[in-house]
Chain A
Amino acid sequence: MAQSHKSFLGRMTRSRIFAGAAIAALVGGAVAAFAVTWRPAIEFVEPPAPQSFDPALVKRGRDLAAMGNCSDCHTVKGGKDFAGGLPVPTPFGAVYSSNITPDPETGIGRWSEAAFRRAMRAGVDRAGHHLYPTFPYDHFTNVTDEDDRALYAFLMTRRAVRAPAHANDLAFPFNQRFVVAGWKLLFLKGGTYKADGAQSAEWNRGAYLVEGLAHCGACHTPRNALGAEKPSASFSGADVDNWHAYAINAQSPSPLPWTTEALFHYLRYGWDSDHGVARGPMAEVAANLSSVPESDVRAIAVYMTSVFGPPPQATRADLKSPSARSTPADDPGALIYQAACATCHEAGSPLPYSGINLRLSTALSAPEPRNAANVILGGIRPVGGERSPIMPGFANSMTDEQIAALLNYLRGRFSTKAAWSGIEQIVRDARRTDTVSLQSAPGSSTTSGVSTQREKP
């Protein structure tokens, strides 16, 4: 994949363009592009009967859909599976996910397999409209026909839900779908995944999944002014949904290097003793990976280990020394840590039910304190019906100033990195967006869809 990314590079180096100029160029380019990228409608089909699909194919499609994390965007919390309607915030406005249940009127019930494949491969719906790249077809283009067939079989055998599409909330010109045609000319590279003969079959399987269906880069790779992933900064970390998706390449802020074994455990079980617990949007990814073939999770771990690069020299000896204290003992953050946090985080009990030793915390070694602030405010909520890690949130008992003092202390005490700046503003933002809501919104009680997803055959 590194190779294919490089081929983008020439077009991409003019990275930072002023938005106005970009829009003008984009509209002009898009009009011309329209002619090139126009796609016809694909005829309706009679909705295929669920029993017409081979159960083994449906089962494979189910595992693939879990690896593709389809339900996270296509299911509203507390809503019907795959019925869409989730607003996905972008710098250009909100795009609402679509209904991918087999409902003939509002879903994809009358889509042929060819129409489904075209959507995955080229980001064009059955009627010939360009789909917004919030649907990550820049990754899904890598998916094989065979896997698209299994995904189609899985989705067409779900319960049909009548749920009309929610209108997108985009400003001009982004509300014009032909603009997407221009975007595609610039950024969409067609063609399925090409195996690298120099690598093992397992590595290639992992690369196929990571770069394709699992679309890891959609969150972990920063985007340019036009919302496309920057191939030059592949996997170097980005802000998503009020969380920071860490760099998962050589720039990883993790205090201990990620090994294949650690990655496998983290992705499969949602935690690793050297790295802690998956939370935020990653918790849902790990939950989905808990039920797919183990060999696929291992393949992802093998490939990602090579993305992280050769193991750096960091070992346990390089962790922040427990005796090193850069702040006086009467520092307000130190007092809060001792009184409210140390009971669990210094208990020395095994993960995932006890607090991690914070010297191992990626959040405290990250470039910004956003994730740490989110977790202190909202805690880690238990997953309904499962044994899962849990941490109480402190939003109701700590002020922004107290959390800022605590974060400042934690950074100095447990990370070898330089002090954070602007902590208070980040804490205020985190409280405002209320990421892990303890002030429950309707249906926010569980990571809904995840546990039901796990129970599916």
Chain B
Amino acid sequence: MTTLKVNGHDHEIDADPDTPLLYVLRDELKLNAAKFGCGLGQCGACTVIVDGKAVLSCVTPLLLLKGKAVTTLEGLGTIEKPAPIQRAFTEEQAAQCGYCIAGMMMRAQALLQRNPKPTDDQIRGELQINLCRCGTHMRILRAVHRAAHLMDTAELTTNNQGGAQ
């Protein structure tokens, strides 16, 4: 048994230590936001946040996660109470098929947590390894800017930010 902290809660996981985090999230914890894309760390669909940093969960085995805190898209907000990054992606209609979007949002969230006002170039550079085959890149770019703005103004009113657990 391994203890894994996900979205603020400790879970006892009965899986081999070499099991990829993605499998644990989807199969054991039924958290299906992170997607299986390539299984080789090459597409970004499986991106989650570990200790504040974007990580490819399909190439991150359980044994690397001792004492670390995992955040998935489910941990950021809910349908009733979406996080700024989720609101922004909805408002910009940044998803077409949507398969890559959870990974895009998680990497963007990690970027915004350490750089609240990224430039276009910084967003492009950061999201470069996340692939989108529908081609909604321009909307994704706008959504990240919108999320930055929402987070900026949200801080004055509510404090329902996810990501920091």
Which A residues lie at the B interface, using CB under 8 A?
A: 78, 335-336, 338-340, 343-344, 379, 381-382, 384, 390-392, 394, 396-398, 402, 438-446
Residues 56 to 80 of chain B near chain A (Cβ within 8 Å): 56, 59-64
CB pair A335 B17 closer than 8 Å: yes
Bound-complex Cα distance A379 to B129 (A): 11
| Contact A343–B40 (Cβ < 8 Å) | yes
Q: Contacts A336-B63, A339-B61: A392 and B125 contacting too (C-beta < 8 A)?
A: no
Q: How far is the CB of B163 from chain A (nearest CB, A)?
A: 14
Taken together as a complex, chains A and B put the C-alpha atoms of A381 and B39 apart, in Å, by 17
A-B contact pairs, 5 of them (CB 8 A): A336-B64, A339-B18, A396-B50, A440-B122, A445-B124
**Min C-beta distance of A10 to chain B, whole Å:** 50
Please measure, in the bound complex, the distance between the C-alpha atom of A390 and the C-alpha atom of B18, giving whole angstroms. 22
Complex CA–CA separation, A313 to B53 (angstroms)? 47
A340 with B122: in contact, given A396-B55, A397-B50 (CB under 8 Å)? no
How far is A339 from B122 in the complex, measured between Cα atoms in Å? 32
Provide the bound-state CA to CA distance between A392 and B53, in Å.
14
Residue of A nearest to B20 (CB): A339
Contact residues of B between 13 and 63, Cβ < 8 Å to A: 17-18, 20, 39-42, 50, 53-56, 59-63
Q: Is the CB of A344 within 8 A of B40?
A: yes
Q: B93 on the interface (CB 8 Å rule)?
A: no
Shortest Cβ gap from A445 to chain B (Å)? 4
When distances are taken between beta carbons in the complex, the residues of chain A under 8 Å from B39 are: 343
Q: Give the residue of A340, A344, A440 whose beta carbon is less than 8 angstroms from that of B61.
A: A340
B92 CB contacts on chain A under 8 angstroms: none
Please tell me if B128 contacts chain A, counting CB pairs below 8 Å: yes
Contact A442 B18 (CB under 8 A): no
Indicate the size class of the contact surface on chain B. 20 to 34
Least Cβ distance of A424 to chain B in Å? 17
Given known A-B contacts A396-B54, A445-B125, A336 and B119 have beta carbons under 8 A apart:
no
Option from B53, B59, B128 in Cβ contact (under 8 Å) with A340: B59
| Neighbour of A397 across the interface among B60, B126, B129, CB < 8 A | B60
Most A CB within 10 A of own CB, among B20, B114, B121: B121
Besides the known contacts A335-B18, A381-B128, A440-B125, 18 further A-B residue pairs in the complex with CB atoms under 8 A apart? A335-B17, A336-B63, A340-B60, A343-B39, A382-B128, A392-B41, A392-B42, A394-B59, A396-B55, A397-B50, A397-B55, A440-B126, A441-B125, A442-B119, A443-B121, A443-B125, A445-B124, A445-B125
Chain B residues whose CB sits within 8 angstroms of the CB of A445 once the complex forms? 121, 124-125, 128
Residues of B close to A402: CB separation below 8 A: 64
Please give the distance in Å from B79's CB to the nearest CB on chain A: 28
- Nearest residue, chain A, Cβ from B49: A396
Minimal Cβ-Cβ distance residue in B for A347: B40
Instruction: Select A392's contact among B50, B56, B64, beta carbons within 8 Å.
Output: B56
A442 to B, closest residue via Cβ: B121
Which single residue of chain B is at the shortest CB-CB distance from A78? B121
Which B residues lie within 8 Å of A335 (CB)? 17-18, 63
Residues from 73 to 128 in B contacting A, C-beta threshold 8 Å: 114, 119, 121-122, 124-126, 128
Residues of A close to B62: CB separation below 8 A:
339
Q: Give complex CA distance A446, B59 in Å.
A: 23
A394 nearest CB across to chain B (Å): 8
B119's nearest neighbour on chain A, judged by CB, is A442
Which A-chain residue is minimally distant from B126 (CB atoms)? A440
Which residue of chain A has the shortest Cβ distance to B114 in the bound complex?
A: A439
Q: Write the chain A residue with the least CB distance to B16.
A: A339
A284 to B61, CA, bound (A): 32
Residues A339 and B53 in contact, CB atoms below 8 Å apart: no
Nearest neighbor of B19 in chain A, beta-carbon distance: A339
For residues 127 through 145 of chain B, which have their beta carbon under 8 Å from a beta carbon of chain A?
128-129
Q: How far is the CA of A382 from the CA of B56 in the complex (A)?
A: 16
A381 to B126, alpha carbons, bound, how many Å? 12
| Cα separation A336 to B62 with both chains bound (whole Å) | 10
Choice from B42, B55, B64, B119 contacting A390 with Cβ under 8 Å: B42
List chain B residues, Cβ under 8 A from A442.
119, 121-122, 125
Cβ–Cβ contact A398 & B128, under 8 A: no
Q: Is the CB of B129 within 8 A of A382?
A: yes
Give the complex CA separation of A439 and B115 in angstroms.
11
A394–B129 Cα gap in the complex (Å)?
A: 13
Name the A residues within 8 Å of B18 (CB-CB). 335, 338-339
**Measured CA separation A191–B109 after assembly (Å):** 58
Q: How far does the Cβ of B65 sit from chain A's closest Cβ, in whole Å?
A: 8
For the complex, give the distance between the alpha carbons of A446 and B128 in Å.
9
In the bound complex, what is the Cα–Cα distance between A390 and B43 (angstroms)?
10
Closest 7 CB pairs of A and B: A392-B41, A440-B125, A339-B61, A339-B18, A445-B125, A396-B53, A397-B60
A381 and B129 form a contact (CB under 8 A): yes
Query: Separation in Å of the A223 CB from the closest CB of chain B?
Result: 33
Interface centre among B40, B56, B62 (most CB of A within 10 A): B40
Across the interface, do A384 and B64 meet the contact criterion of CB distance under 8 Å? no
A443: chain B residues within 8 A (beta carbon): 121, 125
| Minimum Cβ distance to chain B for residue A399 (Å) | 8
Q: Are A398 and B64 in contact (CB under 8 A)?
A: yes
Q: Bound complex: CA of A267 vs CA of B113, how far in Å?
A: 41
When distances are taken between beta carbons in the complex, the residues of chain A under 8 Å from B128 are 381-382, 384, 440, 445-446
Q: Which residues of A contact B63 (CB under 8 A)?
A: 335-336, 339
| Distance between Cα atoms of A440 and B18 in the complex (Å) | 29
Which A residues are in CB contact (< 8 Å) with B121? 78, 442-443, 445
What residue in chain B is nearest A444 (Cβ atoms)? Answer: B125
Q: How far is the CA of A343 from the CA of B119 in the complex (A)?
A: 36
Given A396-B50, A396-B55, A398-B64: A339 and B125 within 8 A (CB)? no
Chain A CB count within 10 A is highest, among B56, B64, B119, B125, for: B125
